[in-house]
Structure formats: C-alpha cells, structure tokens
Amino acid sequence: MQLTVLGCYGGYPHNGIGTSSYLITSGDYHLLLDCGSGALLALEKQLSPLQLSAVLLTHYHHDHTADLGVLQYEWQLAPGAKAEPLLPIYGHTADPLNFGSLTWPDSTVGRAYNPAAPLTLGPLTITFIPTHHPVPAYAPRITETATGKTLAFTADTAVFDGLTDWAQDADVLLADTNFYADHQGPAWHLTSTQAGTLAQQAGVHRLLLTHLPQTGDLQQLATEAQTAAGATIPVEVVQPQFIYKI
C-alpha cells in the first residue's frame, strides 16, 4: 500500500500547497482520501483523476472537500477512459445536505458508509471511529487486506481517550497536527505533543504529521512530536507528492 500526500495544510492552502488530500494506492486500486483545495492539480502529477477507483471523505469541512465540485465536473466533461462508469464517493449521512451533493449526473454517485461497520473498498478494509470535532467526522483505519498493513488517519479531531485503542499498532499514524505544543485556548485538532503521545501510547511504527499550520517552524512541530513519541518511533512532517510505502 502506498500513501501519496496531495495536500497537507489545515484550513486553507499556503505557498502553492493545498489542504487535506491523500492518494491511497494498493495494486491498481486508487482511493482519494479527502479532497481538499488543490487536490486535482496535485493528483494530476500522479494519476489522471479519471483513473480514481473511489473517494472517501472523513467529513464535510471545506478544507477536506473544496475540490469535489471540479472533480465531479471532470468526470462529467473530460474525454478519456474512466476507471468506473460513475465515480463512487463515500461519505457519512449525518449531514444529509452535504451527502446529497456527492451525487452528480453522469459523473459521481454518493455512497453512504456506516461508521459502526467495516467498509470494504477493493483491496482495502476500513473501520471508523467518530472523532471530536465541531461537525460529525470519522477517522478511518485503512488495512490492506492482503498484507495486513495499516494506515490510521485521525481525520480532524481534538484529543480523546478512544484514539489510542483505535490507533493501536498501526504501521503508519497520519495525525492531524494543526497546533504547536504551546497552543492556548479551544482546540479541535491535536497539538504536536498530543500527536506524539498518541503515537507512543498506541505503539505505532511511524508517525506522519499533517493538517499543518501555515505559521511557525514545521521542524519545531516535528521536534515537539518526536520528543513526546520517544526516540524509537520515526516522526516527520509530510511532504507533498512524497510517496510513503506502508
């Protein structure tokens, strides 16, 4: 299984890099995990958007869905062979208005996932945990069925106890790390220290920091997370277009 980072900022794009969007590839199956701003331009460097197998959305905040509309237009209007007659977009139904927008004529079809049940998408098996966020959001734990390799993606979340069990022993923990350790005030995302502590307590094999802040020194963000995670867990800030093998 491969993880390609397409966009990694939280909230809004910055310096030519978009917001949350990731390509998960297993064999010839290509899953777009969230579809933030700039996702299509970034995806084109790896794969024609018409070759996606499916899209999975953690929640409907704009920084995770901004490019959905133009993805639907591309599947409607662009010439070329498509991987599927209609692109399936998997989303939760706790927000019916946004879920309804996932279907577009001759282009895409919205498919509901039940967060309480495993979801099989091609070679991947996905389970979910509801996160702590201002809108309904679900963190997917993605397992490549054939190898058992696992990517745990926190989606957007404040820290809560259930995260540790959910992330247990993951090969890669991809963590919403929107804040530096000294963040004050309300937080709907993890701090660097919380992400590192989660990695350490869950015994994950690698920690990748994403949903990044546009300010400050990202090396400091990584250092703070590394300190909390301990020396044995590799910690790094994700790099756009980098392919992580899981």
Provide the binding-site residues for Zn ion, judged by CB under 5 A.
61, 156
CB of 34 to Zn ion, least distance (A): 10
Which residues face 212 on adjacent strands?
A: 9
- Pick 45 or 62: Cβ nearer Zn ion: 62
Q: Judging by beta carbons within 10 Å of its beta carbon (0-12, 13-18, 19+), is residue 231 exposed, middle or buried? A: exposed
- Closer residue to Zn ion, CB minimum distance, 1 or 35: 35
**In this structure, which long-range contacts are made by residues 220-223, counting pairs with CB atoms below 8 Å and at least 24 apart in sequence?**
220/180, 220/192, 221/177, 221/180, 221/192, 222/192
Tallying the residues shown for the chain, one arrives at 246
Whole-number minimum distance, CB 133 to Zn ion, in Å?
6
Nearest distance in Å: CB 33, Zn ion: 14
Minimum distance, C-beta of residue 138 to Zn ion, in the bound complex (Å): 11
Angle between helices 192-202 and 218-229 (to 10 degrees): 30
The residue (of 75 and 179) whose beta carbon lies closer to Zn ion is: 179
DSSP code of 22? E
* Closer residue to Zn ion in complex, CB, 13/203: 13
